[in-house]
Amino acid sequence: MPRIVVDVMPKPEILDPQGKAIVGALPRLGFTDFVSVRQGKRFELEVEGEVTDEILAKARDAAETLLSNPVIEDVVNIQVVEA
Amino acid sequence: MPRIVVDVMPKPEILDPQGKAIVGALPRLGFTDFVSVRQGKRFELEVEGEVTDEILAKARDAAETLLSNPVIEDVVNIQVVEA
């Protein structure tokens, strides 16, 4: 079954404590090449049958209403992934 | 600055309560086209300068040791995204 991947990230101006904690821990594990880290969410929505434009529009709608909080997050990517 | 995107998803055999909760809520909001939903994590690692193969290998290493729990999660994607 085809899947629709939805990527949600915190808005750039929003404080990202998880990202800060990770970027703080990386050097202690020997990783010194990364200047900043931001953590968001990745969803995979499985669809029965073909992914039409209409279904893709519904996925965007669901992403903006249920899968993300528009006050603090942005839907940064929606793409179809064949199973 | 270039960024490396790391996508982490729960292993297929692992129960995904968040995904279950979402797929349960979708019909109540009028979304009936989605058969299942899985929720994972998306990281953006910012790199100073060029992303070499060596830095990409370090990003994979960091993904497998710090950004994911190899017992219950898979690193499903690592890609370079120009700023």
* ipTM surpasses cut 0.90: yes
Q: What domains are there in chain B, each with its CATH number?
A: 3-81 (3.30.1280.10)
Residue A80's pLDDT is 95
Per-residue model confidence as pLDDT tens digits over A37-54: 999 999 999 998 889 999
DSSP B27-59: GGGT--SEEEEEEEEEEEEEESS---HHHHHHH
Q: What Cα–Cα distance (Å) separates residue B30 from each residue in A13, A39, A51?
A: 32, 29, 17
Mean pLDDT of chain B, nearest integer:
94
Per-residue model confidence as pLDDT tens digits over A16-37: 999 999 999 999 999 999 999 9
Residues of A with CB under 8 A from a CB of B: 1, 4, 7-9, 19, 22, 25-26, 29, 31, 33-48, 55, 58-59, 61-62, 65-67
* Backbone angle region of A33, left / alpha / beta, with phi > 0 → left and psi within -120 to 50 → alpha: alpha
B55 and A33 within 8 Å at the Cβ level: the answer is yes
CB A6 within 8 A of CB A76: no
